[in-house]
Structure 1
Amino acid sequence: MPQLNPDPWFLIMLNIMINFSLVIQPKLMTFTSTNSPSNKTATTTKTTPWAWPWT
């Protein structure tokens, strides 16, 4: 069964992981988020307590 031979697949996986970590990931990390959560102000809403019928 050729699927169990790890020789070609290990090199392919290693190549993909090195490519992702050295090329693709730094390019993705340069993008900035358009909706930064640190810029938003916290809004508090006034809630009314529930009137329980048995109290």
Structure 2
Amino acid sequence: MPQLNPNPWFSIMLMTWLTFSLIIQPKLLHFTSPNPPSNMTPPTTKTASWSWPWT
């Protein structure tokens, strides 16, 4: 069965992961997000209770 022969596929997988880890990943991690997270807490709004007309 040719699927069990790891000779060509292991080297392809190894080269692919090395390329991704050493070249592509640092370039992708260098980008900054357009909306960085902020430390501000959202303002809390106080809602008035509902006055039911039948009570």
The TM-score normalised by the length of structure 1 is 0.71
Answer 1 or 2: which has greater helix percent: 1
* Greater C-alpha Rg: 2
Q: How far 1:40 moved relative to its partner?
A: 5.1
Structure 2 match to 1:41: 40
- Give the distance between the partners of 2:47 and 2:29, measured in 1 at CA: 40
Gaps of 5+ in 2: 49-55
RMSD: 2.0
One-letter amino acid of the counterpart of residue 8, structure 2: P
Structure 2 match to 1:4: 4
- Give the distance between the partners of 1:45 and 1:19, measured in 2 at CA: 51
One-letter amino acid of the counterpart of residue 41, structure 1: M
Q: Per the alignment, do residues 41 and 6 of structure 1 end up closer, same or farther by CA in structure 2, a change over 3 Å counting? A: same
Structure 2 match to 1:31: 31
Gaps of 5+ in 1: 49-55
One-letter amino acid of the counterpart of residue 27, structure 2: K
